Amino acid sequence: MHLMKTLLAATALVAVMGGSVYAKQLVFCSEASPAHFDPGPTTGGNDFDASSRAIYDRLVEFEHGGTAVIPGLAESWEVSADGLEYTFKLRPGVKFHTTSYFTPTRDLTADDVIFSLERQWKEDNAWNKYLEGISWDYFQGMDMPKFLKSVEKGADDLTVVITLNEPNAPMIANLGMDFASIVSKEYADQLLAKNDPAALADFSNKPVGTGAFVFVDYQTDAVIRYQAFADYWRGKVAIDDLIFAITTDPAVRAQKLKAGECDIMSYPAPADVAGLQDDANLQVLEQEGLNIGYMSYNTTVAPMDNANVRKALSMAINKTAIVDAVYEGAGQVAKNLIPPTMWSYDDKIVDTTYDPEGAKKLLADAGVSGLTLDLWAMPVSRPYNPNAQRVAELIQADWAAVGVTANIVTYEWTEYRERGKKPDRPGAFQIGWTGDNGDPDNFFATLFSCSAIGVSNYSSWCNDDFEKVIQDAKKVSDQAERTALYTKAQEIFKAEEPAMTIAHSKVFMPMNKRVVGYTMDPLGIHRFDNVDVTE
Amino acid sequence: MLRFILQKLALIVPTIIGITIASFAFIRLLPGDPILAMASQYGVTPERYEILKHQYGYDLPIWQQYFNYVGGILQGNFGISLATKRPVIEEFMTLFPATVELALFAILIAVALGIPAGIFAAIKRGSWFDQITMGVALTGYSMPIFWWGLLLIIFFSGYLGWTPVSGRIAVSFFFPRVTGFMLIDSLIAGKPAGFVSALRHLILPAVVLATIPLAVIARQTRSAMLEVLGEDYVRTARAKGLEPSRVVAVHAFRNALIPVVTTIGLQVGLLMGGAILTETIFSWPGIGKWMIDSISKRDYVSVQSGLLLIALIVMAVNLIVDILYAVINPRIRVQ
């Protein structure tokens, strides 16, 4: 025992001696390894935390803790009256990172912006296929090829003009998304000049950006290291070293946080939250997530093609009970498709009330009796729906009380979505969405526009009035006008009930009390540029 | 001897072919689709899906995909990971030392504790020591690794604070990678404190990974010893008046060792399996965790080539054990 104590004391001593005492260090226990560090082709939140939100900047940014768009690398911009031409004025004197593998000779110019978009867009761009099997999923997913007409240099090196084929108000918010991160053309040209396909891959694993942190090292599946960028255009951030300690198991992340091996962690398991809140050394921030868990009725299959039947099915369900039982205090009942934190949220909407007797009557009036339908349950836990199986069981019981028989159906996750989006899929389908850019269009059009049928409109719902309103809202850039249109959209949605909105969930972020200034992000990203640590 | 080795090698060829088929088929038999698994939450349109399918070669007939895979391997090309776009062999070589370090440490623990425990249990057959040791071994053998790992973390790292929770080394240590073995690299970098940190990080995962092999080795040693202790030559040695410790160490143990060596060799395959769970719990950046991640991403290329590489290594180790066995025991060669 004595030997053990001596050994431990010696270990502790050398550990302290070996650690860096002077630099301000923040260790983030992250949930997964990034695929690589090019934010263009990657799709995961963990990829973006490690690349775009640490290393890169964009023309515009989302404000800390909100979804309002603020100037980024562009200090100002103008939109032409017809909504087709966006002119961005770039900030002068923005430096790219100097690293062991790249030394920039010039500041940010329009060329970098043009390159950042064209490499994803133009198939003849030398970087369009720089990695084997690369695909620019977000650029495609946001329909950029459809909207973009040209990206060109304006009057000078610091002016960029983006011309669209048709007006698209959400474009500004799109440009704040991770895929639209601005990369260095000079660095790309240097790699290309090596004439070696293997050297091109460096662009994805030896990143160069303009962001708050400079990439230092990635030890695969274990640790990512960054250093604060001394010449950051916003000024050097408060911490010196940022470290991602990749820890996949949430229970282990919580243990690491408690043991002081990391300062802050992502995505605690719901069961661990209370224990973390009780720890005297820790604080747990929480925020409404920018998300929605819902259940899509297939509006093209009888009897769910009748809005009254859909209403009746929703009326039969005790949503409050579901949210209490499944979200364990980390959710709120959703009456609208968009969450309350998003602009244009209509609080005047009255939610469908839980009324089994009324539901029975509505069903009888519609001539529906002995209804049997499939009830789809996601096989995975998502922030917007932690346990779809349990939700399905509760709905099944509620429906049984009004004479509706539900068969619970589930498949492997990708298979589940594939089958779910088929326009002739029968039944009610649980799914959800986490906002990408804070624009209501990102919910309404992505999930319920006519063109999304077969892609992400799981209700196969194409309503002329709704479609007109959301398409009009794309074309005007005045926010008050757009709010009026989205208010109308929410009214139509509630009246037609193409889906039952279930819940918006809360997101928790546990951290050591020595971490100050961290703001939770509604978009679910983790950024550390405004964080400090006290000694 | 050469003939013996050639015979063994000849047997390996059909095994490898079998493994390529099994690993190729395994990941494709799982439900799910690599293209959809990679897509963003917007999914992909049917047209784009077809383009991507063609780009990856998944529109080819299945037999042609298989021959492309095997053809690549024959040329030393294990493919490019669908998830990270890096060569699979490069990823494998980056992560493999971590697994080896862990597995070696685990087998060391298993042997160092398992063999003495087995010997004493055999000598004191029927005693309380024997009963307890074998009881514990049976428990260890049936231990669910995931639960056991978390339990140890909560107790030793969380409650007592003796060991780090997870990872390979404290994040404050940062030195260049030379061999990929933390214990060696820390010394090369001249950081003895890093060595200590790496060693402390190794303890819990190695104990967890060692649990099952330890139980197997202890039980195997015990039964081999019991068998040998009943042999005539042991009785003769005792009758000659030799010291009991000498009888056990020289006469009995050396002969009991032969089946135990085989058992240890066979544990290598089990260690690889155990490493998958152990590495996942302890965020140990080795090939076990990598395999799990690749399977969940439906990274066909990493899974089919990774499984093959792991199988090749296990076969190589078994071959070496077979040869060693033949060296120890000449009768094997004749058979």
The neighbour count for residue B71, using CB atoms within 10 Å, is 10
Q: Is residue B112 part of a domain?
A: yes
d(CA A89, CA A71): 10
Task: For residue B143, report the phi and psi dihedrals to the nearest 5 degrees.
Answer: -75, 125
The neighbour count for residue A202, using CB atoms within 10 Å, is 18
Of B164, B173, B193, the CB nearest to A261: B164
Contact B211, B143 (CB under 8 A): yes
Residue A1: the pLDDT is 40
Which three-class secondary structure state does DSSP give residue B143? coil
pLDDT in tens, A378-418: 988 888 998 999 999 999 999 999 999 999 999 888 788 88
Write the CB contacts of A236 (distance below 8 Å, at least 6 apart in sequence).
Answer: A228, A229, A230
Chain B residues touching A256 at Cβ < 8 A? 165-166
C-alpha distances in Å from residue A432, one per residue of A354, A376, A386, A458, B41: 21, 12, 11, 10, 10
Domain count, chain B: 1
Judged by CB atoms closer than 8 Å, whether chains meet at A27 and B174 is answered as: no
Mean of pLDDT values over B250-260: 82
Q: Which residue from B194, B189, B193, B249 is spatially nearest to B225, judged by alpha carbons?
A: B249
pLDDT score of B229 more than 90: no
pLDDT score of A20 more than 50: no
Chain B residues touching A204 at Cβ < 8 A? 85
Mean pLDDT of chain B: 88
Least Cα separation, residue B181 to chain A (angstroms): 13
Residue B333: the pLDDT is 62
Q: Is residue B292 part of a domain?
A: yes
Residue type, A124: D
Q: Is residue B257 part of a domain?
A: yes
Judged by CB atoms closer than 8 Å, whether chains meet at A14 and B290 is answered as: no
For B297, which DSSP code? Answer: T
Output the domain CATH number for residue B163: 1.10.3720.10
Q: Is residue B50 part of a domain?
A: no
d(CA A94, CA A81): 30
Judged by CB atoms closer than 8 Å, whether chains meet at A27 and B56 is answered as: no
pTM of structure:
0.87
Q: Is residue B170 part of a domain?
A: yes
Expressed as residue numbers, the domain containing B268 is: 88-332
Least Cα separation, residue B84 to chain A (angstroms): 5
Q: Is residue B107 part of a domain?
A: yes
Chosen from A11, A414, A453, A455 to mutate, greatest number of chain B CBs within 10 A: A414
Residue B334: the pLDDT is 57
When pLDDT is cut at 50, 70 and 90, the band that residue A15 belongs to is: very low
Q: Is residue B146 part of a domain?
A: yes
When pLDDT is cut at 50, 70 and 90, the band that residue A115 belongs to is: very high
Judged by CB atoms closer than 8 Å, whether chains meet at A261 and B32 is answered as: no
Mean of pLDDT values over A121-146: 90
When pLDDT is cut at 50, 70 and 90, the band that residue A469 belongs to is: very high
d(CA A29, CA A23): 19
Mean of pLDDT values over A339-346: 91
Of A138, A222, A414, the CB nearest to B37: A414
For A452, which DSSP code? Answer: G
Percent of chain A with pLDDT over 70: 96
Mean of pLDDT values over B94-98: 94
ipTM of the complex: 0.87
Contact B24, B304 (CB under 8 A): yes
Which stretch of A19-28, A233-242, B189-198, B259-268 has the lowest confidence by average pLDDT? Answer: A19-28
pLDDT in tens, A23-75: 899 999 999 899 999 999 988 889 999 999 999 999 999 999 888 899 999 99
d(CA B212, CA B136): 11
State whether residue B99 sits within 8 Å of chain A by CB: no
Mean pLDDT of chain A: 91
pLDDT in tens, B103-116: 999 999 999 999 99
Which run of H or E residues covers position A315? helix A307-315
State whether residue B192 sits within 8 Å of chain A by CB: yes
Q: Is residue B152 part of a domain?
A: yes
State whether residue B147 sits within 8 Å of chain A by CB: no
Judged by CB atoms closer than 8 Å, whether chains meet at A142 and B42 is answered as: yes
Of B43, B153, B196, the CB nearest to A417: B43
State whether residue B142 sits within 8 Å of chain A by CB: no
Q: What b/e sequence results for A284-296 when a residue is b if at least 16 CB atoms lie within 10 Å of its CB, and e otherwise?
A: beebbbbbbbbbb
Chain A residues touching B84 at Cβ < 8 A? 35-36
pLDDT in tens, B36-79: 887 777 777 788 888 888 888 889 999 999 999 999 999 989 99
